[in-house]
Structure 1
Amino acid sequence: MMNIFFVWIFFFFVISFTTLINFFYIKKYFSQLSQLQKSYLNYFIWLLSTCVFVFLLWIYFFYYYNILIANRKILDFGISYVIDHILSLDNILIWFICFEYFNIPINLQNRILTYGVLGSFILRFFLIMLSYWFLLHWNWVIFLFSCILLFSGLEMLLIKTDNNITDNIFLIFMMKYFNVINSINSEKFFLYKKNILYITPLFLVLVLIELSDILFALDSVPVTLTFVKDPCIIITANIFSILALRSIYFIIFNILNKNFYIKSIISIIVMLISVKIMYENYIYILENNIYIFIAIVLFLFLTFNILKKYFFR
C-alpha cells in the first residue's frame, strides 16, 4: 500500500506558500487595488496553486503507480473540486444575506471569512472521514444520503427561501440569553464594557456562516463520495475549493444576477445525482453521461443568465 505522506507534504507546502503570498506580497505591493481587483487576483493565485498541486499529485501517482491511476486521481480531484464549486453557490448567497443584514463592511468581511475558512477546514475533514467510515461499514447509508439529497433538491426547487434572517433560531437565542452589541465599532468579536462581556455582530455572522457551512457540507460531502472514493483526494480538493471560492465570493454575484435561478439549477443537479445514486444498482448509468448533463445544465444557465442581464433588462 502506497504511503500518501508526500501527498500531504505537497498539500501543506502549496497551501502555506500561497497563503504567505496572499497575506504579505499582495498586501504590500498591491495595496492600491480595489477590494474587487484584489479578489480577482487572490482567486487567480488560488487557481494557480491548485494547478501546481494537481501537477505534483499527478507526478507522484505516476511515479509510484502508472499513468492510468495518475490520470484517474486527477479526474477525481477535478470532480470533487467542481462539485464543491457548484453546490457552494447557494451557500455563498447566505453569506451575502448575513453581511447585508448586519451591514458588515467589506474589510471586516475578509476577517470573518478568514476565521470561517479555519472552521471549515476542521469541519470538512471530520465530516468527510465520518461519512467515508459509515460507507465502509454500512453500504445502505448511501441510499440514506441519496434520500436526503433528493429531499434537499425538492425543498430548494419548491420552497421559496426568505432572505430575512430575523426569525433565525440562533439569532433569537443569542439575543435573548447573551449581551449583544448592535453597532460595529471595531473588528473584534467580543468587547468588554464595565466588566461585562458583549458579543459583536461580527461573531454572530461568523457563527451563522459556520452553521450554513455545516448544512451545505451535509449535501456536498455525500454527493462527492458517490463519485470519488479516496478521502485524501476529497479533503484536499474541498480545501482548495473553499479557499478559492471565499477569496472571490462577492464576484460571483457581481457577474450573475443573484436573484436568478441559482437555487433551481443547484436543485436540479442535486436531484439528478440523488436519482443516479438510488438506481445505479438497477440501471447502468455511465458517469460521463452525468458529467455531460451537468455541464449542459450549467452552460444553459450561464448563457441564459448573461442574456437576461445584458439584453433583457
Structure 2
Amino acid sequence: MNVSVLVWVVTCAVILGLFVFDFYAHVRVPHEPTFRESAIWSSVYIGLAVVFGLVVWWLWGGEFAGEYFAGYVTEKALSVDNLFVFTVIMGTFAVPRAFQQKLLLIGIVLALVMRAGFIAVGAAAISTFSWVFYLFGIFLVLTAVKLAKEAGHEKEVEEKRDSRIITLVRRLVPTTDDYDGDRFLTKVDGKRVVTPMLLALIAIGFTDVLFALDSIPAIYGLTEQPYIVFTANAFALMGLRQLYFLIGGLLDRLVYLSYGLSLILAFIGVKLVLHALHENTLPFVNGGQHVAVPVISTGMSIGVIGVVLLVTTVASLARTRGQAKLT
C-alpha cells in the first residue's frame, strides 16, 4: 500500500478539522446533549467512517478496504469498552453532565495522539523485527485472559486504579473538591489549585494509555499498514463522545461485552502467532525456516469479529431484559 506524504498530511488535517469542528459546534458551550443530537452525530461519524472505507477501496483495492473495516469494527468495539471506564470516572468525580462533553473530547484527542505514537513505534518494530508478531500475539492472548477474569468487576478495578493515580496527584499539587464551571484550574484563597475536572482528565488520560496498549497490537493483527491502523483508530474514536450519551443507559446491560472482547483479542492473538510462524526467522523455531501453518484471511477475521459481537450483544440484552423493564 503506497501512501504518499501528501495523503498523510491531508488525512491528518481533515481529522484535526473534524475535532475542531466538533469542539466549536457542540462542546464549547457546556450542555448535556439530547438523545436526538447524539443519535444524529453518531450516525454522521459512522457514515464518514464507511465513506472513508469506500475511498480506500477505490484507491487501493478491496483487500486493504477489508483490512480497514475489520480494524474499524474491532477498534469501535474496544472503544465501547472505554465507555464503561469513562462512566466510572465521571461517577467517581461527580462530573456534572453539562461538563462531561469537554472531558470526553479532550480525552479522545489525547487518546488519538498517544495511539499515533504507539502506531509509529509498532510500525518501526514490525518493519525491523518480524518476531515482534510473536510478542504482540502472546500479549493479546494474556490480555484476553485478564479481561475475561475481570469481566463483571470492571468498576472495582477501575476505581482502585483511579484512586492510586489521584492520590499521587493530590500529593504533588494542591487540589480542591469544588468545581469552578468547566475550568481545570481555579483560585482558592489566592492560590491556584487543580479542580476535579483536571483530576478526571488525568484519570481518562492514564486509561487511554492502557487501552492503547491493547488496541494497537490488536489492529496490527488485522493489517500491517500504518495508514490503515491510524485511520481506523481515528474514525473509531470519532463520535465516541456522542455514543457515550447515546447508549449511556444501555452500557449496564452489555454484561457479556467484556467476554466477547476477550474472545476477539484472543482470536487476533492466535492469528498474530500463526502469522509470525508463517514468516518465522527465529533460528530456534524450526531452524529459522517458515512454518507451514493455516493463514487466517481478512474475510474470516471480519466474520469472527462480527459474529462474536452480535452474539454477545444479543445475549447481553436478552439476559438483562427484566432490568430494562424495571428501569
TM-score, structure 1 normalization: 0.85
> Counterparts of 1:72 and 1:112 in 2: how far apart (Å)?
37
Does the 8 A contact of 1:120 with 1:213 survive in 2? yes
Shift of 1:17: 6.0
1:151 is the counterpart of 2:142: yes
The residue identity in structure 2 corresponding to 1:304 is A
Shift of 1:308: 2.4
Structure 2: gaps of 5 or more residues: 278-290
The residue identity in structure 2 corresponding to 1:46 is Y
When residues 245 and 298 of structure 1 are mapped into structure 2, their CA distance, relative to the original with a 3 A threshold, is: same
Corresponding residue for residue 84 of structure 1: 75
The residue identity in structure 2 corresponding to 1:302 is T
Task: Say which is worse superposed, 152-161 or 200-209, in terms of deviation.
Answer: 152-161
Does the 8 A contact of 2:93 with 2:196 survive in 1? yes
The CA RMSD measured in Å over matched residues stands at 2.8
Task: Say which is worse superposed, 194-203 or 34-43, in terms of deviation.
Answer: 34-43
> Counterparts of 1:27 and 1:85 in 2: how far apart (Å)?
22
SS in 2 for 1:260: coil
When residues 210 and 290 of structure 1 are mapped into structure 2, their CA distance, relative to the original with a 3 A threshold, is: same
The residue identity in structure 2 corresponding to 1:268 is L
Shift of 1:211: 1.0
1:38 is the counterpart of 2:73: no
> Counterparts of 1:243 and 1:252 in 2: how far apart (Å)?
15
Shift of 1:257: 3.3
Residue of 83, 90, 93 corresponding to 2:84? 93
Shift of 1:242: 0.5
Deviations 1:28-49 (A, max 9, x none): 9xx9995332211221121222
Corresponding residue for residue 269 of structure 1: 264
Does the 8 A contact of 2:79 with 2:236 survive in 1? no
When residues 295 and 184 of structure 1 are mapped into structure 2, their CA distance, relative to the original with a 3 A threshold, is: same
Corresponding residue for residue 244 of structure 2: 249
SS in 2 for 1:227: coil
Residue of 177, 181, 184 corresponding to 1:186? 181
Does the 8 A contact of 1:184 with 1:200 survive in 2? yes
> Counterparts of 1:15 and 1:260 in 2: how far apart (Å)?
33
Alignment map for 1:36-75 (pairs within 5 Å): 36-59=35-58, 61=59, 69-75=60-66
Shift of 1:153: 1.0
> Counterparts of 2:77 and 2:300 in 1: how far apart (Å)?
17
The residue identity in structure 2 corresponding to 1:11 is T
1:285 is the counterpart of 2:295: yes
When residues 26 and 128 of structure 1 are mapped into structure 2, their CA distance, relative to the original with a 3 A threshold, is: closer
Alignment map for 1:1-313 (pairs within 5 Å): 2=2, 4-8=4-8, 10-12=10-12, 14-15=14-15, 18-19=18-19, 22=22, 34-59=33-58, 61=59, 69-159=60-150, 161=153, 163-164=155-156, 165=159, 168-258=163-253, 260-280=255-275, 281=277, 282=291, 283-287=293-297, 288-310=299-321
Deviations 1:173-197 (A, max 9, x none): 1122321111223110011233422
> Counterparts of 2:155 and 2:274 in 1: how far apart (Å)?
35
When residues 110 and 90 of structure 1 are mapped into structure 2, their CA distance, relative to the original with a 3 A threshold, is: same
> Counterparts of 2:180 and 2:24 in 1: how far apart (Å)?
26
> Counterparts of 2:165 and 2:246 in 1: how far apart (Å)?
28
Structure 1: gaps of 5 or more residues: 62-68
> Counterparts of 2:313 and 2:254 in 1: how far apart (Å)?
13
Shift of 1:128: 0.2
Does the 8 A contact of 2:175 with 2:194 survive in 1? yes
Does the 8 A contact of 2:27 with 2:101 survive in 1? no
Corresponding residue for residue 283 of structure 2: none
> Counterparts of 2:95 and 2:106 in 1: how far apart (Å)?
15
TM-score, structure 2 normalization: 0.82
Task: Say which is worse superposed, 129-138 or 300-309, in terms of deviation.
Answer: 300-309
SS in 1 for 2:119: helix
> Counterparts of 1:298 and 1:199 in 2: how far apart (Å)?
40
SS in 2 for 1:145: helix
SS in 2 for 1:163: helix
> Counterparts of 2:16 and 2:164 in 1: how far apart (Å)?
37
Does the 8 A contact of 2:32 with 2:97 survive in 1? no
Task: Say which is worse superposed, 45-54 or 182-191, in terms of deviation.
Answer: 45-54
Shift of 1:6: 4.6
When residues 24 and 155 of structure 1 are mapped into structure 2, their CA distance, relative to the original with a 3 A threshold, is: closer
SS in 1 for 2:61: helix
Does the 8 A contact of 1:184 with 1:201 survive in 2? yes
Does the 8 A contact of 1:7 with 1:57 survive in 2? no
The residue identity in structure 2 corresponding to 1:309 is T
Shift of 1:149: 1.2
When residues 226 and 33 of structure 1 are mapped into structure 2, their CA distance, relative to the original with a 3 A threshold, is: closer
